[in-house]
Amino acid sequence: MAGSALAAVTSLALAEAPPQEQVLVTATRVPEDGMKLPLNWSSISQEDLALIGHTHINEAMQQVPGAWIARGNGQESLISLRSPVLTGAGSCGAFLIAGDGISLRAPGFCNVNQLFDANTEQAGRIEVIKGPATSVYGSNAMHGLINVISAAPSQQLDQNIAIEAGPYDYYRAKYRYGNTWGAHGLSVRINGTTDGGYLDDAGYDQQKATVRHDYEDDLWRVSSVLDYANLNQETAGYIQGYKIYEDAGSRRDNPNPEAYRDASSLRFHSAISRTLDAANTLTVTPYLRDNDMEFLQHFLPWQPVEKNDHSSLGLRAALNTDLDTSSWINGLELEYTEGHLQEYQQQDFSPNQPAGIHYDYQVDASVAAAFSQWRAALGSDWELSAGLRLEYTYYDYDNKTGDGPACGPEASACRFYRPADRDDDFTDWSANAGASYSVTSDTIAYLRLANGFRAPQTAELYRLQADQQVADLDSEELSNIELGLRGRWREQLEYDLSVYLMHKDNVIFQDDNRYNVSGAKTRHYGAELSLDYRFATDWYFRLDGTWASHTYDSDINLLGSSSNLNGNTIDGAPEAFGSARVGWDFPAIAAADGTLELEWVYTDSYYLDPENEHQYDGHSLFNLRLSGMVNQHWRGTLRITNLLDKDYAERADYGFGEYRYFVGQPRGAYLEISYQFGS
């Protein structure tokens, strides 16, 4: 157990810890020993993030077994976390994407691309929970949780600036500042990127900033974080044609030069903690978020424009009780969100897809939850954990335009239907229980049972099609059982192996009438393995691998499918994927060592349609990274992506009767020069 140390920290005590301690913050929002925790988790450290130097979040998440972030164009992405790559209006609700434990977007207002709202490039670390999270998290923490943790202030003055250049007019600048004086600490992380884009008429400009202030005295600890992100992107659409990504004359084509995406986000929270006594710490965390996005839906032939925004105000209160052999967290959460969505079309496409406003509505959403999470040690060998959460979600929907279809009388099958004003509410609960046993002093085995849920997203309830007047949807539910083995061998090898089985009920989908309905079932099982082996003093080998199966588990006819899909593999679900790295920590100068690392990234073949009739062959890629100090101030870093210049697709799809691809970039070299201030 973390022991009495937990009483002195808050839900956002995020200072970095030596890797051998395996400190985890995400599970309960307080630092605790992750070694014995009966839960599958992964962490990407600040040092690893610096070496990866990702230009897109998928480059970093390749080092997390069970996670595959399918890259779209620019900074767009789709998430897979113990799941297929999920698509559709509410598919993003299957994952909770958080910054310092607070969801980047409000429950009910997720976006498939929401990872670009986080400053992952300069994070303190990224922690990932696979499968349903603990009871301190609610709706959306179903297939898993990705938590981007802000960098804590350094104990001494730390100031660094870096510039980077890469192919196709790629440039990035980063600034880092940290210091602690007396009871105060400050961390500032700022970066800006401009990318001309590999494809024709495609590129983006992006800016991110994270400012964190910490204060601590004998009774109080306050950690306040301000996060800002802005993206202006000229988006490229799919290129069409079987394996067209192998055609040198076509793979840089952009069939949608008019497409764009503009998005901005602002978040602030302040975790205020007071030590009540030797065993109890109270933490109150007010927070707010504001998101705004506009983009052209280039993936639809009639190309409507969508504008969406939402603003939230929330409050979380938690009492952390830390006893000699157990810890207990009890809390309440309240959140209010005001969200808007408008979709309009500039020109007539057909009577069923006319020009004008398709949707224009506001949703006021309220969420209230109570949770309890407990952890205890039984002797020196056993640890138990259990948790329970109850959550209530309420939507007040206000239609700002005429009720009914958005088409004239000449329409034969109008694509858009605006339901009348209404309200909806959902009451959900989740529970988890786990046990770990110390097989040896360095090896633990664990068993965990857990369930998760997600309330329907507002776009699933109120953005209806055809003549569906009401979407009578239930919350999705997922049940999970997993076994794991985690440990060390002779201080050289660290390993983490888990196997799991998950069933998902009340899956929301669009049927062959274009109705949003509940009731489908899916089945998910697999194995995940992480290895970190120091086979010589300065050499290491690391492996993060996944094998999984994701299938439909009920009679279902999706929109566009021609047959019952029960038993079929869900499209966008490779059976195997992962990465392996071999590295050499070589001596550079006395102040710091350098690193040379070769990485292999593998993606298995996967189906592109629910009928399992079309397939992408998969690919293997190699990346090379070299980083070292030139002197006590200057560091040089060279990253070569797609080292063997492989023709491949970042993401493949089959739609509207065509193979469609987002093309992977050829070999590219990125050079970064950084300067460390001070003596």
Amino acid residing at 325: T
Measured distance CA(100)–CA(225) in Å, rounded: 9
| Whole-prediction pTM | 0.94
Alpha-carbon gap, residue 242 to 617, rounded angstroms: 11
First to last CA, the chain: 40
Helix (H, G, I), strand (E, B) or coil at 521: strand
Q: Choose between 448 and 586: higher pLDDT.
A: 448
> Which tens digit of pLDDT belongs to each residue from 279-322?
999 999 999 999 999 999 998 889 999 999 999 999 999 999 99
Which of the 8 DSSP states describes residue 21? G
Tokens of 583: 């590295």
- Confidence (pLDDT) at 317: 97
Domain that residue 612 falls in:
3-676
The residue type at 101: G
Q: Tell me, what's the pLDDT at 405?
A: 94
Q: Give the mean model confidence (pLDDT) for residues 368-378.
A: 96
Residue 9, pLDDT > 50, answer no
- Per-residue pLDDT band for 418 (boundaries 50, 70, 90) equals very high
Q: What is the dihedral of CA 97, 98, 101, 103, to 10 degrees?
A: -90
For 44, 143, 242, the CA distances from 38, given in Å and listed in that order, are 19, 17, 45
Indicate the residue type of 363.
Answer: V
Residue 679 has a pLDDT of: 66
**For 645-675, what is each residue's pLDDT tens digit?**
999 999 999 988 899 999 999 999 999 999 9
Q: Which band of pLDDT confidence, cut at 50, 70 and 90, is reported for residue 588? A: low
The Cα 628–Cα 51 span in angstroms is 10
Supply the pLDDT for residue 6: 31
Give the model's pLDDT for residue 32. 87
Q: Which residue has the higher pLDDT, 525 or 8?
A: 525
Q: Taking 80 as the threshold, does the pLDDT of residue 4 lie above it?
A: no
Classify burial at 150, counting beta carbons within 10 Å of its beta carbon; exposed 0-12, middle 13-18, buried 19 or more. buried
Whether the predicted pLDDT of 24 surpasses 50 = yes
Number of structural domains the chain divides into: 1
Position 126, amino acid: I
Instruction: Find the angle CA(123)-CA(128)-CA(129) to the nearest 5 degrees.
Output: 155
Which pLDDT belongs to residue 673? 98
Residue 13: pLDDT above 50?
A: no
Tell me the pLDDT tens digit for each residue of 94-147. Answer: 999 999 999 999 999 999 999 999 999 999 999 999 999 999 999 999 999 999
User: How would residue 591 be classed by pLDDT, with cut points 50, 70 and 90?
Assistant: low
Asked if residues 451 and 479 have their Cβ atoms less than 8 Å apart, the reply is yes
In this predicted structure, what is the pLDDT of residue 560?
A: 66
At residue 592, the pLDDT reads: 63
> What are the C-alpha distances in Å from 642 to residues 77, 369, 517, 598?
19, 46, 42, 11
Residue 430 pLDDT exceeds 70 = yes
Check if the beta carbon of residue 234 is closer than 8 Å to that of residue 202. yes
- pLDDT tens digit sequence for 167-215: 999 999 999 999 999 999 999 999 999 999 999 999 999 999 999 999 9
Neighbours of 90 (CB within 10 A): 25
Tell which phi-psi region holds residue 525, choosing left (phi > 0), alpha (psi between -120 and 50) or beta. Answer: beta
d(CA 574, CA 505): 22
Residue 275's CATH number: 2.40.170.20
The residue length of the chain stands at: 679
What pLDDT is stored for residue 557 in this prediction?
Answer: 80
- 41-92 pLDDT, tens digit per residue, is 999 999 999 999 999 999 999 999 999 999 999 999 999 999 999 887 788 9
List, for residues 599-645, the tens digit of each pLDDT value: 999 999 999 999 999 999 999 999 999 999 988 899 999 999 999 99
Give me the percent of the chain exceeding a pLDDT of 90.
85
Q: In the prediction, which pLDDT does 66 show?
A: 96
**Whole-number Å distance between alpha carbons of 362 and 398:** 5
Which residues neighbour 247 within 8 Å (Cβ) at sequence distance 6 or greater? Answer: 241
Rounded Cα gap, residues 177 and 136, in angstroms: 32
The phi and psi torsions of 576 (rounded to 5 degrees) equal: -135, 140
pLDDT recorded at residue 632 = 87
Higher pLDDT: 379 or 462? It is 462
Number of helices and strands in the chain (H, E) = 3, 39
Res. 21 pLDDT band, cuts 50 70 90: low
Mean pLDDT of the chain: 93
- CA gap 55, 204 in Å, rounded: 12
Distance, CA of 312 to CA of 103 (rounded, Å): 11
Residue of 43, 76, 100 lying closest to 227 (CA atoms): 100
Contact 416, 459 (CB under 8 A): no
